[in-house]
Structure formats: structure tokens, C-alpha cells
A = this chain, B = another copy of it.
Amino acid sequence: MTTVTTAQATAILDAAQKKAEDMGIKQNIAVVDAGANLLAFRRMDGAWLGSIDIAITKAKTARYFDMPTGDLGEMSQPGKSLYSIEHSNGGLISFPGGIPLEDGDTVIGAVGVSGSTVDDDHAVAQAGADALSS
């Protein structure tokens, strides 16, 4: 199983933190490996305590279904096909901020960010994911 490494995960945290600092926001950042198991986590000083679990769960959710968490959320609204999927797996997060990490066509892990608006969270997660290919 190809998976994101510890060194890559640390680089992802660093890149995401730098992006958050540039944006003037405080974030929780999590990286899971190809097995959806926690690999690295960092909470910036003063970031929301409730976002510890959300950042980790966003990363897990993104790897569970190999798609950005916001994409899943569009399918889990009332009346949609995956309504209430958040009840599974001990609780999922289905709003933006979780992004799969890819090596070519292979998903090798995921990054999850929480602590600001969902647009901010997604942007910071993307900055983290971009560090993988740089």
C-alpha cells in the first residue's frame, strides 16, 4: 500500500499552518494515511477545541470515500441519496475541509482542516495537499 509518509505529513502541516497564518486564522490540521489512520496533527494556538475532532474526522471522511468532504455533503442533504450518512463510522463530517491526498491516480491519505469558515478550511487543506506535489 502506497501511503503518505511522516515526513510528507509534517510538510503538509507546515504548509497548511503557513497558509492559515497568511490568512490570519487559527486552524486544526490533521493528516491520515492510506489506511485512514491518524498520522499527524497540529492545533494552532487559540484554535477552536471543538475542531480537534472535526479536523481528524474530515481527514478520515475524505479517505473513507476518496473525495473532498464537501462533495459528500452535497449528497447527504435531506432528500438526497446519502442522507444521514454522517451517522456511520462513529460520525462523519460532510462539509468542506477534508481533501484526499493523491499520488497520481492513487489515494495515499487525506488532510482535514477545521477552525474557520468552511471555505477557509478548504483553502488551507488545499495548501496542505499541494505541499505533497511540490
A residues near B (Cβ < 8 Å) are 1-3, 5-6, 9-10, 33-45, 48-54, 57, 60-61, 63-66, 73, 76-79, 81-96, 117-118
Tell whether A52 pairs with B35 under 8 Å between CB atoms, given A45-B5, A77-B79.
Answer: no
> A77: shortest Cβ distance to chain B, in Å?
6
Tell me if A6 and B83 are in contact (CB < 8 A).
no
Tell me if A76 and B84 are in contact (CB < 8 A).
yes
Tell me if B50 and A64 are in contact (CB < 8 A).
yes
Docked complex Cα distance between A73 and B78 (Å):
10
Tell me if B42 and A40 are in contact (CB < 8 A).
yes
Tell me if B88 and A54 are in contact (CB < 8 A).
yes
Docked complex Cα distance between A118 and B93 (Å):
19
Tell me if B87 and A86 are in contact (CB < 8 A).
yes
Q: What are 21 A-B pairs at a CB distance below 8 A?
A: A1-B3, A1-B33, A35-B35, A36-B37, A37-B43, A37-B49, A38-B52, A40-B41, A48-B65, A50-B60, A53-B88, A54-B85, A76-B84, A77-B83, A82-B95, A82-B118, A84-B86, A84-B93, A84-B94, A84-B95, A87-B93
